Structure 1
Amino acid sequence: MEAVKEKCANVERILSSQLKGIARDAGFDNWEVERCDVRPAAQGLSGFLGDHFKLDLHLRKDNTIRIIHLFAKFLPLLNIPKAKLVMESNFFQREALMYDLFDKLGVYNDQNPWCPKALRFNETLVVMPDLSYEGYRNVAKLECLDLQHVRAVVTSMAKFHAAFACYEANRNCDLQHPHSFYDEHREGLMDKSFMDSPWLRAAAKLTYNFLKEFSTKQLDRSVEKIMIELFIDTCNDLRQREDSLNVLIHRDLWTNNIMFRYDGTHPTDAVMLDFQCVRYGPPAFDIMIFLYLTTSRKFRLAHEMEVLNHYYTVFTHCLDDVTKGKLKDYNYGRWDLFNWCEKARRFAMMETLAIHPFVLMEEHVAEETFDNPDTFVKYNDEDRSGPVLKHARENETYRSRQLEHAEEFVDRYVYKLI
């Protein structure tokens, strides 16, 4: 409780000089700020690359009072080792780059934009409207998405990819020496986790230990070494490709990073949040990562081709003539997308195995496990098997979701190397 109070006090201090500007950017110019109420966004850890809060900004103009409801994300305020990791990995810088780009893309001219408009963003914070007051909500993190929800997300994803593809194609037409967005921002878009890193090796080690404890598959000790080598090799799958269209991809679309608006029980719109992990590469990687993070193997067997067809239809519908010509240059037809999705499958499965132990864990347990400065380095870089296996013994859904992916990864890729 004392830590929560200290975090909220830090948020109030950091924002004190910015509140009037935030109000102005939200459409309330010349309104006086009376106060700002700050509270945690969730009871526990709702995000892993920053501290999340909800703000109620109280404004007055003459005798009229308004309250603006906001969501804010900050560089970790008390966990120094985590804050250092987040800074060194450029997560907030990457997201600031995206929100600056979204203004150029004209995203907010759409009646139903696929991302929220940030009111403030820099290398330590992001402030935006609280979409829950606009009728949006998340799906519970341990639930798998059904076809209606998947189609809503894929529609937004296709619009995102198409908007960027059009931006880059048209920009390069105007340049004497065309170059990619990635060429300009290569260092900022570098992912320091999905490479040969202590974090990735710990993820592979955990996957092996998870299988040893919960799977009926017979795996000897050599599989741990194979798993580590596979994880490292798979990282190279996601990169800028000369033989494909390349776009910015979200690369982190698990359920907390997606909010839905509904007509009754039917999801009509999906908004993508948290662009801290964006990468540059073939669009297929975003689709497959999303499907593995949010759906079951049974769902993918039944609906994967339908989802890919829906994506391609929306994507091509949103392209201008210049960008459609670029697709022809790269032979990026419908079947080419299907082939790229198969190439992206291995990375999607590996990423899911790496981050599911974090994101599927209940918020209060995740906070105790992964937000403790005293154990952060140990669980991040050395071995997180202990707390993850403990929680998997206690929570059947947490266990079964991860076991299903781990066993599929073994079936598809590990057995070939034994």
Structure 2
Amino acid sequence: MANSSGLLSSEEVFAIVSRRLGSEDIQVEEVVYAPIGPGMTGFMGDHLRIQIVAKETRLGQRYELQFFSKSLPTTSQDHIEYVISFGAYEKEVVAYSTILPKLRECQGSQARWSCDCFLTRPDLIVLENAAHQGFQLHDNLTCMDNAHVTLVLKNLALLHAASIIFEERNSKIEDAFKEVLFENLFSSIEGNSSRNWFVTGIHTAVHITKYLQKFSDDPKLLSVIKKELPDTCKRMWELAKPSKKYRNVLCHGDLWNNNIMFRYESGRPIELRFVDFQMYRYNPPAAELVFFLHMTTRRAVREAHLEEFLTLYYETFSQELKLQGYESEQLLPWTELRDSFDRLRDIGRIVGVISLQMCLMDPKIIAPYTTSLGKFRKVLEQDRRQEVEENIQSNPIYKERILEALEELVECSILKNRSN
């Protein structure tokens, strides 16, 4: 058996294949590791394609099996320690080894919204290779159309319903998985890397207010906007916490184009997989919905189709609960979903202002920083104004989306609150 990189032991390879084929009567013939694509595939870890050739000895059938692995980076110890400090790997390992299988056991429908997992270690996750099965990411800069949004909302409804069913049958998710429900995207802890990332995003947002043409003729108002923008954004630190008023569910926590893979037929999305379960949190479902919609759609689309989107989500959510013998109006009424969406809307507005800065950035601009931990931490945690400026100047779509998000937050949160 060839095992060129030593990533997996012979025992681990055997376990992966036996789980995949549902048999232990197997003989592994070859293991081949290959990069996902040209160049570096991610600063936060190493990604590989794994092909395993195996034979089911009882029937003599030969299989070429494809898997996808995510592991801690191998560049340096400092790099490893930096990635570990985010807690993302710890959360994802527990997600795939424990949480997601338990939630899928609570699901009544046959739809799948997460990849099958075949092995976890503290430093490694081996999953089905969704790309080999025809799944692909949506273009990063292009907003999702209604067909994509509809599919995502239906699958989110299944995920959230499974969360509630788990709690009805077992215990509160925040109790069952307390050790991994720490906040690692919107942390307010001083010195925390995610806090530094967020505050750097605030400074950048204040800097680019100069591009807000709608307010450029009123220097006094623009000064007020700059002054109030930081505190408005910092509300996220409270909004991201579990609600004391509304029912919470397990939320993916970071749903945007790069964390959803779609499979298509005749150009239409028919199936998906949510990936990168590294930032999940315990929040009302509405918190997840506003996050997703503000990261993947334009303001005009949200305003035109919001009721349609929410109705679709709740209908799917209700149907899933009913399959398992529960009534949605008893466990999470429509009025609660609608009220919580309105009250948590600033989650979407703030995340649009902060997260889109780097999520939509041209890879050519950010690529030089991914080869050095120091350079990467600089743009992530210290100052990214130059990089955002460069992208604004070079890419009209980036400029439109960044400034639209900032303008909406200003109009709907800062100025509206001042007039109330």
Normalising by structure 1, what TM-score? 0.86
Report which structure shows greater RCO (CA 8 Å, sep ≥6): 1
User: Match of 2:70, SS?
Assistant: strand
Residue of structure 1 in register with 2:397 after alignment: 397
Question: Equivalent residue of 1:114, what SS?
Answer: coil
SS at match of 2:244: coil
Query: In the TM superposition, what is the alpha-carbon distance from 1:113 to its structure 2 partner?
Result: 0.9
Residues 352 and 209 (structure 1 numbering): CA distance in 2 closer, same or farther, change over 3 Å?
A: same
Range that drifts further, 368-377 or 209-218: 209-218
Instruction: Please list every run of 5 or more consecutive structure 2 residues that lacks an aligned counterpart in the other structure.
Output: 189-194
1:112-150 deviation digits (Å, cap 9, x = unpaired): 311111112233222111112223222111111111111
* Secondary structure, aligned partner of 1:267: strand
The yes-or-no answer on 1:15 pairing with 2:8 is: yes
SS at match of 2:321: coil
The aligned length equals 400
The Cα offsets for residues 172-219 of structure 1, whole Å up to 9 and x where unpaired, read as 4xxxxxxx2213433421114413322211011111223324655336
User: Hey, what does 2:85 align to over in structure 1?
Assistant: 88
Offset of residue 414 of structure 1:
2.7
Quote the Cα distance in structure 2 between the aligned partners of 1:278 and 1:204. 22
Structure 1 residue matching 2:239: 3-state secondary structure = coil
Moved more, 285-294 or 377-386: 377-386
Contact 1:79 1:372 in 2 (8 A): no
Q: Which of 318, 328, 339 lines up with 2:320 in the alignment? A: 318
CA positional deviation for 1:221: 5.5
C-alpha RMSD of matched pairs (Å) = 2.8
Name the counterpart of 2:187. 195
How far apart are residue 247 of structure 1 and its match? Answer: 0.5
Partner of 1:175: none
TM-score, normalization by structure 2? 0.86
The answer to whether the 8 Å contact 1:205/1:224 transfers is no
CA distance in 2, matches of 1:303, 1:326: 23
Residue identity opposite 2:181 in structure 1: L
Residues 12-411 of structure 1 mapped to structure 2, 5 A cutoff? 12-17=5-10, 18-27=12-21, 29-43=24-38, 47=42, 49-60=44-55, 65-78=62-75, 81-99=78-96, 100-107=98-105, 111-172=110-171, 180-196=172-188, 197-213=195-211, 215=213, 217-218=215-216, 220=222, 223-320=225-322, 324=326, 327-328=329-330, 332-370=332-370, 372-411=372-411
Whole-Å separation in 1 of the counterparts to 2:147 and 2:382? 39
1:43-74: CA deviations, max 9, x gaps?
A: 45655643322222233467764321212212
- Looking at structure 2, the residues matched to 304 and 284 of structure 1 have their Cα atoms a distance apart, in angstroms, of 12
Checking the alignment, whether the CA contact within 8 Å between 1:244 and 1:282 is kept in structure 2 is yes
Change (3 A) 1:363 1:37: farther
1:404 Cα deviation after fit: 1.2
Cα deviation, 1:329-363, whole Å, max 9, x if unaligned, reads 6xx32232111111221112212322222222344
The change in CA–CA distance for 1:77 and 1:229 in structure 2 (over 3 A counts) is farther
Q: Structure 1 stretches (4+) deviating beyond 6 angstroms?
A: none
- Among the aligned pairs, what percent are the same residue? 25
Deviation string 1:280-300 (CA, Å, 9 cap, x unpaired) is 010111111110111111110
| Inter-CA distance 181–323: structure 2 relative to 1 (3 Å threshold) | farther
Shift in CA distance, 49/324, structure 1 to aligned 2, threshold 3 Å: farther
Q: In the alignment, residue 165 of structure 2 is paired with which amino acid?
A: C
Q: Provide closer, same or farther for how the CA distance between residues 264 and 326 of structure 1 changes in structure 2, counting only shifts above 3 A.
A: closer
8 Å contact kept, 2:211–2:403: no
Give the conservation status (yes or no) of the 8 Å contact 1:202–1:381.
yes
